[in-house]
Amino acid sequence: MRVITTGTRLAAMLLATALLAGCASTKEEQAPDVAEGQLYQEGRAALEDGRYTTAVNRLEAIDTRYPFGEHAEQAQLELIYAYYETSDWEAARAAASRFIRLHPDHPQVDYAYYMRGLAAWEAGRFSLESLRLIDISKRDLGATRDAYSDFRDLVRRYPNSQYAPDARQRIVYLRNLLAQHELEVADFYLRKGAYLAAVKRGRWVIEHYPEAESTRDALAVMVEGYLGLDMPERAKESLRVLIENAPNHERLNGRTFDPRYVKADPISA
């Protein structure tokens, strides 16, 4: 005969309780088997009441059960917001992209573009706090780049959208952030003696973020990087552009540039 100890019985009871709770939870999460209109009403009510998990549940049910129903398009649109409010940034972006693909001419498609960018913005929000890390080269600003691209898509396609003014403000901030990040990486490369990589980062900033505040610093990076590569003529060429665009730059003493990391003599344009 097998003896069941008190500890074994307790563990079994706890397991059974957990299984029952799981079944109950699953049952509660299942959308009721009702008509599309009622599902939509319940989803809308949940959105208005801030019960976003329930809203997701009802709106997903409409999308699954009634993909061509009366409320299908609006449910897909509102599902983007419901995902956003539950902090499911990936789902919000996926839902927005799907809506854009399925309904490119919808009168509210600009909202889908905006929410896609906003979800990426939130996904990268910790990247927006600080750029200073022990090893900046390992920093990943993928979500921040996605937000920048999404907001640019919005203002390019729908410049008169009600969401465009906010998107433009975010673009300026993100552009400066991304440019600064590239320069942090370039600075890291200069310290490590990877001068060609530093020059490429500086050029990238100038080519891709020409309106960013950091373009002057990008020129300074290129000057120093070319000095490290023992290419004085290219360094002087970049220096002349720096002097022309930022004569009072902190790295300049008149028309002379003093390298910070590279072991080289100061150069003048």
Same domain, 155 and 218: no
Tell me, yes or no, whether 207 and 249 share the same domain: yes
From CA 8, how far away is CA 26, in angstroms rounded? 27
In the numeric block, which tokens belong to residue 220? 């300074």
Do 154 and 105 fall into the same domain? yes
Distance CA 159, CA 101 (A): 20
User: Do residues 181 and 106 share a domain?
Assistant: no
Q: Are residues 185 and 254 part of one domain?
A: yes
In a domain, 5, yes or no: no
pLDDT at position 139 is: 53
Q: Which domain holds residue 233?
A: 172-268
Is the pLDDT at 5 greater than 80? The verdict is no
Q: Note the pLDDT tens digit of each residue in 35-86.
A: 889 999 999 999 999 999 999 999 999 989 998 999 999 999 999 999 999 9
Let me know: does 99 contact 112? Beta carbons within 8 Å: yes
pTM of the predicted structure, to 2 decimals: 0.76
User: Is residue 49 a part of any domain in this protein?
Assistant: yes
**Do 107 and 87 touch, CB atoms closer than 8 A?**
no
Nearest to 183 by CA among 202, 210, 157: 202
Which tens digits make up the pLDDT trace of 193-208? 999 999 999 999 999 9
Residue 69 lies inside a defined structural domain of this protein = yes
- In this structure, the answer to whether residues 190 and 73 fall within a common structural domain is no
Is residue 150 over pLDDT 80? Answer: yes
Number of domains in the chain: 2
Model confidence band, residue 29 (pLDDT cutoffs 50, 70, 90): low
What's the average model confidence in pLDDT over 250-254? 93
List, for residues 168-189, the tens digit of each pLDDT value: 999 999 999 899 989 999 999 9
C-alpha distance from residue 12 to each of 8, 17, 25, 26, 246 (Å): 6, 9, 20, 21, 74
Mean pLDDT for the chain overall: 85
The burial of 38, by beta-carbon neighbours within 10 Å (0-12 exposed, 13-18 middle, 19 or more buried), is given as exposed
Question: Which alpha helices (H) appear in the chain, and where do they start and end?
Answer: 6-29, 36-49, 52-65, 72-85, 89-102, 109-123, 142-157, 164-192, 195-208, 215-228, 232-245
Q: What angle do CA 60, 66, 69 make, to 5 degrees?
A: 120
Distance CA 173, CA 158 (A): 20
Q: Tokens for 10, please give them.
A: 């307790």
Query: Do 81 and 141 lie in a common domain?
Result: yes
Letter for the amino acid at 211? E
Co-location of 257 and 201 in the same domain:
yes
Question: Predicted confidence band at 126 (pLDDT cuts at 50, 70, 90)?
Answer: low
Tell me, what CATH number does 240's domain have? 1.25.40.10
Mean pLDDT for 3-28 is 40
Q: Do 56 and 155 sit in the same domain of this protein? A: yes
